[in-house]
Amino acid sequence: MNERELPIGIFDSGVGGLTVARAVLDQLPHEAVHYVGDTAHAPYGPKPIAEVRRLALDVLDRVVDSGVKMLVIACNSASAAMLRDARERYDVPVVEVIQPAVRRAVRATRNGRVGVIGTRATISSRAYEDAFAAAPHLALTTAACPAFVEFVERGITSGPELLTAAREYLAPAIAADVDTLVLGCTHYPLLMAVLRSVVGDDVTLVSSAEETAFDVYRELAARELLRPDDLPLPRHRFTSTGDARAFRTLAQRFLGPQLGPQLVDVDETGPLYLGAL
């Protein structure tokens, strides 16, 4: 197969990266996507950085071996743990989600106070502090939100328990009077409604999904790797390392009505595929 016809590999610890996959599919409708969610080992957030690095690289090795023209690390914890390793290890371009979100937040803030919420692994890595170092005039407030990923992975995106957790986690950002909040985990856009209800309408919520999709386009165009428009419609593959039925249910919900119903099981205990659009 010609290199331009190969799929874009998108990796996440679970279902959160589907927000990035959805943005890529929307912005690059002629590109094929191979998505892998490492649900067998999710969540990554509470795990030590060294373990996240090992788990992520093991999955990415298999994704690259399957044949992709680009890797998108749609997981903040994994990006913080092994981005440099991935760029040195693989011969394909690697796009991640931290820098795109930071660029958007720098443009969006009006009062110079920015908040970042993420998993314990992401926040403890100080990856966002490093990324914001190029904008020293900004005041940064960070907070770990360990339960958010577990809520999303269970399909819970509303309810009193989630609201209570959100109020607790977001208290430091509210106290710091941030006007921009970076959702430092690709699971968090799925909680947008509850986050908005807690921080209020005057705070800009920054999701990395759209900005990351822009980076994917720019990188493919610069390397002349865009899939030709005159080819047949692409086929997309969505794979879970864990329970296929649970992944299917969440994928159908989070990919949206246009894509969700097209999920077809290859094997009830094996990978899932998304048919041609």
Report cis status (omega within 30 of 0) of the bond before 228.
Answer: no
Q: Which of 8, 102, 116, 185 is catalytic?
A: 185
Residue 14 is classified by DSSP as S
Among 82, 48, 45, smallest CA distance to 186 is for 45
| CB-based burial label for 84 (10 Å; 0-12, 13-18, 19+) | exposed
User: Rounded to an integer, what distance in angstroms lies between the CA atom of residue 201 and that of residue 274?
Assistant: 36
User: Rounded to an integer, what distance in angstroms lies between the CA atom of residue 2 and that of residue 75?
Assistant: 28
Handedness of CA 172, 48, 160, 20 (dihedral sign): positive
Beta strands in 104-199 (DSSP E): 113-118, 139-144, 180-184
Q: Which two tokens stand for residue 192?
A: 């947008």
The residues that bridge with 181 in the sheet, in sequence order, are: 115, 205
Answer yes or no: 145 catalytic: no
Quick check: 137 and 112 in contact, CB under 8 A? yes
First to last CA, the chain: 20
Q: Which of 24, 75, 97, 251 is catalytic?
A: 75
Active site amino acids: 75, 185
